[in-house]
Each structure stands twice: as C-alpha cells, then as structure tokens.
Amino acid sequence: MRIRLDRTICDGFGVCAKHAPKHFSLDDWGYASLIGDGTVEEADRDDVLRALFDCPVHAIVEIGDNEFDGEARPGPAAATEEAPVFEARWGYAQ
Ligand code: SF4
C-alpha cells in the first residue's frame, strides 16, 4: 500500500499522527508531513487506513503502485507499435 499526503489541504487536526505515528509527523503548528516515501508495510496498514479515513479534510489518499505520486516523473511509455500517421489534406484526415 502507498499513500500520499496533500499538505495544501491539511488543516492540522493531528489525527493522522495519533493513529499512525510511524508514518506522520506534525510540525509546531500541528500540520502533518509524511515520514518516508509513503510506502506502508502490511503491519501498519490498519493504523494508516484509520488515519486516512479519520482525516477530516481527506488530505491522505491511497495511491496505486503505478500512479504518479508527484515525486518522480514516469518514464516514457515504450512504443509497442508504430503510431498511425494522419495526413491532413483539405481539412480532412486520411
Ligand atoms: S489528520 Fe489530516 S488534517 Fe489532520 S494533520 Fe493529518 S493530514 Fe492534516
């Protein structure tokens, strides 16, 4: 399981750090940061899910393994077949 925290909508309630202190830290004003890269071990899954569901502003989301998480850009997709070539002539695509 992987998660992402959107700090722009975190309202500093601190619920996440209470439920899953291994994955969330709070700054002096109570706003959360992720600890680590968002990867959640199976043993921590329940605590993190509780934090996710209890976050009043839904700042924590689960992301899929192949989903772009904003940390690194996905590489170019491998070309599996040649892209079709469209030639525009007189306003028509052929
Ligand atoms: S529970 Fe949500 S709003 Fe509260 S500190 Fe954590 S991320 Fe921010």
Q: For 55-71, how does the pLDDT look when each residue is reduced to its tens digit (9 = 90+)?
A: 999 999 999 866 665 65
Is 93 inside a domain boundary?
Answer: no
Q: Which protein residue's CA is at the shortest distance from atom 6 of ligand 1?
A: 16
* Containing structural domain, residue 22: 2-66
Is 6 inside a domain boundary?
Answer: yes
pLDDT, residue 94, reads: 47
- The larger pLDDT score, comparing residue 30 to residue 80, is at 30
Counted domains in the chain:
1
Using the predicted structure, report yes or no on whether residue 78 has a pLDDT greater than 90. no
Is 80 inside a domain boundary?
Answer: no
Give me the CATH number covering residue 34.
Answer: 3.30.70.20
CA 47 – CA 59 distance, rounded (Å): 16
Q: For 6-27, how does the pLDDT look when each residue is reduced to its tens digit (9 = 90+)?
A: 999 999 989 999 999 999 999 9
Provide the strand spans (E) within the chain.
Answer: 2-5, 24-26, 32-34, 60-63, 88-89, 92-93
Three-state DSSP class for residue 80: coil
Is 23 inside a domain boundary?
Answer: yes
Q: Which protein residue's CA is at the shortest distance from atom 2 of ligand 1?
A: 55
CB-ligand 1 contact for 14 (6 Å cutoff):
yes
Is 79 inside a domain boundary?
Answer: no
Is 38 inside a domain boundary?
Answer: yes
CA 32 – CA 59 distance, rounded (Å): 10
Is 87 inside a domain boundary?
Answer: no
- Is the sign of the CA dihedral 50, 54, 55, 58 positive or negative? positive
- Is the sign of the CA dihedral 21, 22, 23, 26 positive or negative? positive
Is 41 inside a domain boundary?
Answer: yes
CB-ligand 1 contact for 13 (6 Å cutoff):
yes
